[in-house]
A = this chain, B = another copy of it.
Amino acid sequence: MPELSLAYPLADARNAILEGGLAIFAADGFHGATMRDIAQKAGVSQGLLHHHFGGKDGLWRMVGERITADFMTYMANAVDPALPADDGIKAMLRSYLNYWKEHPTAFRFNLWRLLDGPRSERVARSEHITQHGVALFQKAQDAGFIRKDMPPGLALIISGSVIQFWLHSQLEVRDALAVTGDENLEDGVFLEHVLNLIRGVPGSGTT
């Protein structure tokens, strides 16, 4: 008789499966991951994954929804609406960078999501966040804290894409910086550069 008295007390195998799924999916992608690996990581039998999530597709989707929801609530609380526009933007970008830095598996899963997955499931993703972000950038632009020669949405996208690249391609970044001996660039300094970029202030001093 197999002793299965261990699993029951946990009472939340679903959660273990979702966490195991995130770990394995993030490491190997949708097609690279196997239900057996996930089951082992979660410490449950493989059949249970199907019981709770219907199948591989369903699990992938659930993991995705979960990390998106977590990110959205984090970002919604990250920026104090009472803050003046320039400080608001600074806080927003810093929170964005910090969140993904502290959630590397979720970050990598999102990278996979760009390519892999059962169906190119263009979810109604961070649409809300985007709108909120653009509004904030526009406010900052009106207040004169952001260069006026580009649409605020573009400034937002540019900031986000640069931060993402900074996170997922540290090696290439380092290569490029090492040429001039600047390879030890800290996150804070990097963020300041991004801010200066969209501020546009310092000018090149076209000699």
Contacts and interface: CB of A to CB of B under 8 A. Distances in A.
A84 interface: no
Interface string A164-207: 11101101110111111010010000100100111111111111
Interface stretch (A1-9, A40-48, A57-65, A155-163): A155-163
B122 A111 contact: no
- Copies held by the complex: 2
What are the nearest 4 A-B pairs in CB distance?
Answer: A161-B165, A153-B176, A144-B207, A31-B31
B29 A179 contact: no
28 contacts: A29-B29, A29-B115, A30-B32, A31-B31, A111-B114, A111-B115, A112-B115, A122-B171, A126-B172, A130-B172, A144-B204, A144-B206, A147-B196, A148-B205, A150-B196, A153-B173, A153-B176, A153-B179, A153-B180, A154-B177, A156-B176, A157-B165, A157-B176, A157-B177, A158-B162, A158-B197, A197-B198, A200-B200
Interface stretch (A75-83, A93-101, A131-139): A131-139
